[in-house]
Structure 1
Amino acid sequence: MSDPAPTCTAGMPWQDRSRPAEARSLPVRACVRAMRAYEPPLEERTGIRLDFNENTRGCSPTVLAAIRSMDGRDIAQYPSYRALLTTISRTHGLDIASVLLTNGADDALRVIMDACVSAGDTILLLSPSFSVYQTYASLREAVVRWVPYEDSFAFPFTSLQDALRSQSPRLCIIANPNNPTGTTITPQALLGLTAANPATLFIIDEAYADFSGQTCLSLPRPENMFIIRSLSKSYGLAGLRLGFLVAAPAIATQLRKAASPYAVNVMAVKAGIAALEDRQYLRSSVKEVIENRSWLRAQLGVRGIHSYPSEANFLLVSNSAIGRRRVSDILSSRGIRTRRFPELGCIRVTIGTAQECEMICLALDGRDSRGAPDAGTLLFDLDGTLIDISASYWEAIRQTVTQFTGRIVSDDEITVYKSKGGMNNEWDLTQTILSNSWTDATRRITRTPPSRETIIAAFQQAYWDDGRGLILQEKLLAPIALLSSLRTYFRLGLVTGRPRRETSFTLRRFGIQELFSTIICMEECARQKPDPCGLRQAMSATPGPWRYIGDCVDDMRAAARAGIPCIGITTATRAQALRFAGAAATYPSVIALGKDLMELVELRQCRTPLPSYPPATRPASKRTARGSTP
């Protein structure tokens, strides 16, 4: 058993020590101020998403049909829960009075904690396990005690028994299977623990139970056991937030007092009924995960990568080094997202479709999606290379200079400044032109030269204007079809001096954001091109060899300092200036370059078959017939 843990206000691993001193005056409880916030992804997660244990196959087609059948009146009404409760009770053989609908499994935890845990109560948690358990315990100002999993991540049954006897906790939470280890304990053993400790309440989190085939729902349940279920994983309804908890009917009646009366929305109700009734889809989805899990674990093993036995829809994988790079970095460079657990030296990999599992193996083997040796990474500049900025950035420069000086700036003048270097940032370029334009005549318009902050504000008003400005005049210089073809052979990355907000806006507008494995923006680097900071960050996240494609002198110089070849695009700078700055070659457009690259790579691409590994545990046709989540 681990040493007793302190209360939620003293030195817990989730305590946020970086908060400013003035936070102490905020009108929130001390335990909330001490917590580290759980930070879900706020931006769109591109690539192959194997980081949040979602069902990458998607939900049942009957769920989509049920949602499409809804009309405006359905949305306008408060939800009715009788039909969904009846479906749940019939599916699992439950007394309808024992079932409480919740807004996902997280909401079920909150309801139980609010109803049953008081400040100072002891809660027993296993480590490692789902971090939200600790979050809700701290909100109740409970005292948390820890029981660590064994070194092999086997369930610590003896240590847990000892802790239950010595600590007499108010509540014990057990995930079965456990997240992130995939470990299970038999339902009979859980019933034995609850019977031996009648004064302790037990929450059995069965979010992943469909993948293990073990559940406490089918057994007689004592009054001190709560069971939590989720429709996010096996049913593929994570985006709708639907779960339920099961308790003794008398206790469920009391729990409803602590629950929101309309925690589950009407769309989730419709989808939940359809999902539960499509038992065939559930069986096939679970079967596919189990087969893919077994296959992927075997494939990792023959590559010398250790993974732990799992009964869930994920594997906990050792984040070992292959050559000079760790498994997580190799997968990330291919756009494969995983969840990192640095304290365990592991990553958690969601079991996706058959093709997604094969993409993992291809990435680890250094091969592309066709099984051929990887051609490396193409790193692109954005402005002037992939995006025509003559009517946006350049026009914003002209308008800003005219606003403060009254004179007109020509395209040729901007080109001359760009060719000199040191002018990769349009704010710097605008300020330089203004400084060089300041004469007695301009002083009649503005008595003193504008500050940098004033220049930037005027520039952004013209260019950005909350997404309504000149940014809408930009055009894509590289057809999506060409970029998609290049991505077949190369990893694609982006290194730009734009702010991330404007970069994301533009990439989404043209529908090309998902084509790039890594995107480095202004915020990621304290120093901009010609400093190689951004390029080096992109290189650390992608496989070599690397080539950088840019349109200005600073791009060429940054690539030279990063030690990689650079190809110049002559949209903004003369070819001679680019070659003098270090360009290995110049092209009039990305289209012309792309055609040459495609011809070259198709001529040289090796068609060597994949290494001979042990056969998969599922038929080969299944491994190649299904699609992949982009």
Structure 2
Amino acid sequence: MTPDQAVKDLAATEIQPRARVLAMPEYHPPLGHRDRLRLDFNENTLACSPAVKTALENISATDLTRYPEREPVEALVANYLDVAPEQVLLTNGVDEAIHVLCQAFLDAGDELLLPVPTYTMYEIYASSTDATLRKVQAADDFRFPFESLLGAINARTRIIAIANPNSPTGSVATREQILAIAQAAPGAIILVDEAYFHFYGQSVIDLVGKVPNLVVARTFSKAYGLAGLRLGLLAGPESLLRWVRRVLSPYSVNSVALAALTAALKDQSYIDWYVAQVKQARAEFLSGLTGLGLDYWPTEANFVLVNIGATHREFVAAMREQGILVRDRSADPGCLGCVRITIGTPEQMRTALTAVESFLKSNPAGASK
């Protein structure tokens, strides 16, 4: 065989991934062209702390030549959370936290229990393993399906993922419910994802190390406004996190992100101010939706799920034309006709409410069920 023929034969060969990767769902976030009022991804709608900006400006060219060291910053985070340093693991966003947890603990024959609708990436990362994903559908009121979830626990249950507050619904599981689930599934990791904790104010992170199968995730993408730097964490017993560290890259959290996080943690007053702004705006916006006759679900997060109905696509397009981005969640289980709207500052949400009202006036059949 000539070299040219060998090259042609190789070019015709297609290498396939594992069967699970072929079968797993894909996630394509609708990013790009987001130079509008960003009420679509539950981000901080203003900016990060000014202290973060100063810290970034002080990073030298020499600083960037060194590999990142996460341990000193993990110690700072641990002190902030009032847990031991070995009980904290910083990750490249909560996405990586979910990914490595699945890689460390899900094997063939295992099950991940997932209340739905919820954050898409639990399903994505679980589907990349040889475990089985088992969904537990919430009722029409989107309350946390506590009884159904308890009934789904079995000997194969290895991870139970609970977003608290949940996205896209804004619903919550109570502390008592989480403890009951942990007791009912002692052989499973109970992952409580508290990405939206600041807007809810209640946490189970104080139970880390006391409940041996509890792991809590947090993000610095939402209230802290560091989504572009990709920072998250897992807090859990050292006996569990040691295995997660084994499958985690030692350099997945970069030096720039670590410097920003150090500054952000020292400026809690900024976080308190921003969260207060969002809570005020949430109350005003929900009251406005009620006044417009729109149905929505109670929320403890920095977003609200609104039932727009048959005109949901037109609604999203109309809001974009008015310079406001919102997220169509109709493809989520049980969410047909639903649109999720991030809550920003009071001024931003007054602008958004005016746009919603304009849509309804120009679409008399809008929000039809």
Any stretches of 5+ residues in structure 2 without a counterpart?
1-11, 364-369
Q: Does 2:194 align with 1:206?
A: yes
Match in the other structure for 1:474? none
Match in the other structure for 1:169? 157
Any stretches of 5+ residues in structure 1 without a counterpart?
1-22, 368-373, 375-542, 545-630
Once the two structures are superposed, what CA deviation does each residue of 1:8-48 show, in whole Å capped at 9, x if it has no partner? xxxxxxxxxxxxxxx99532112212233211345332211
For 1:97, give the aligned amino acid.
E
Once the two structures are superposed, what CA deviation does each residue of 1:360-381 show, in whole Å capped at 9, x if it has no partner? 12112339xxxxxx9xxxxxxx
Name the CA distance, whole Å, in 2 between partners of 1:38 and 1:321.
Answer: 24
Following TM superposition, by how much is the alpha carbon of 1:177 offset from its aligned partner in structure 2, in angstroms? 0.5
Match in the other structure for 1:480? none
Q: Does 2:267 align with 1:310?
A: no
Match in the other structure for 1:468? none
The worse-fitting range, judged by mean Cα deviation, of 189-198 and 53-62 is: 189-198
Name the CA distance, whole Å, in 2 between partners of 1:62 and 1:240.
Answer: 15
Following TM superposition, by how much is the alpha carbon of 1:163 offset from its aligned partner in structure 2, in angstroms? 1.0
Q: Does 2:136 align with 1:139?
A: no
Match in the other structure for 1:358? 350
Identity of aligned residues (%): 38
Following TM superposition, by how much is the alpha carbon of 1:274 offset from its aligned partner in structure 2, in angstroms? 0.9
Q: Does 2:270 align with 1:286?
A: no
**How high is the TM-score relative to the length of structure 1?**
0.53
Q: Secondary structure at the match of 1:72?
A: coil
- Contact (CA 8 Å) 1:111, 1:259: kept in 2 or not? yes
Name the CA distance, whole Å, in 2 between partners of 1:188 and 1:61.
Answer: 38
Following TM superposition, by how much is the alpha carbon of 1:168 offset from its aligned partner in structure 2, in angstroms? 4.3
4+ runs of 1 displaced by more than 6 Å? none
- Contact (CA 8 Å) 2:218, 2:233: kept in 1 or not? yes
Greater relative contact order (Cα < 8 A, sep 6+): 2
* Match of residue 154, structure 1, among 143, 153, 164: 143
For 1:331, give the aligned amino acid.
M
Following TM superposition, by how much is the alpha carbon of 1:255 offset from its aligned partner in structure 2, in angstroms? 1.7
Q: Does 2:192 align with 1:219?
A: no
Following TM superposition, by how much is the alpha carbon of 1:184 offset from its aligned partner in structure 2, in angstroms? 0.6
Once the two structures are superposed, what CA deviation does each residue of 1:253-289 show, in whole Å capped at 9, x if it has no partner? 2221111011100010011111111111111111111
Following TM superposition, by how much is the alpha carbon of 1:209 offset from its aligned partner in structure 2, in angstroms? 1.1
- Which structure's CA Rg is the greater one? 1
Match in the other structure for 1:30? 19
* Match of residue 233, structure 1, among 219, 222, 241: 222
Once the two structures are superposed, what CA deviation does each residue of 1:527-571 show, in whole Å capped at 9, x if it has no partner? xxxxxxxxxxxxxxxx79xxxxxxxxxxxxxxxxxxxxxxxxxxx
Name the CA distance, whole Å, in 2 between partners of 1:127 and 1:289.
Answer: 26
Matches within 5 A, 1:8-87: 25-41=14-30, 43-87=32-76
For 1:66, give the aligned amino acid.
A
For 1:52, give the aligned amino acid.
F
- Contact (CA 8 Å) 2:109, 2:156: kept in 1 or not? no
Following TM superposition, by how much is the alpha carbon of 1:335 offset from its aligned partner in structure 2, in angstroms? 2.1
- In the superposition, relative to structure 1, how do residues 34 and 168 fare at CA in structure 2: closer, same or farther (>3 Å)? closer
* Match of residue 180, structure 2, among 192, 206, 213: 192
Name the CA distance, whole Å, in 2 between partners of 1:197 and 1:24.
Answer: 46
- In the superposition, relative to structure 1, how do residues 36 and 116 fare at CA in structure 2: closer, same or farther (>3 Å)? closer
Match in the other structure for 2:6? none
* Match of residue 129, structure 1, among 101, 115, 118: 118
Name the CA distance, whole Å, in 2 between partners of 1:183 and 1:41.
Answer: 24
Following TM superposition, by how much is the alpha carbon of 1:329 offset from its aligned partner in structure 2, in angstroms? 3.6
Match in the other structure for 2:166? 178
Name the CA distance, whole Å, in 1 between partners of 2:315 and 2:54.
Answer: 40
* Match of residue 242, structure 2, among 246, 249, 253: 253
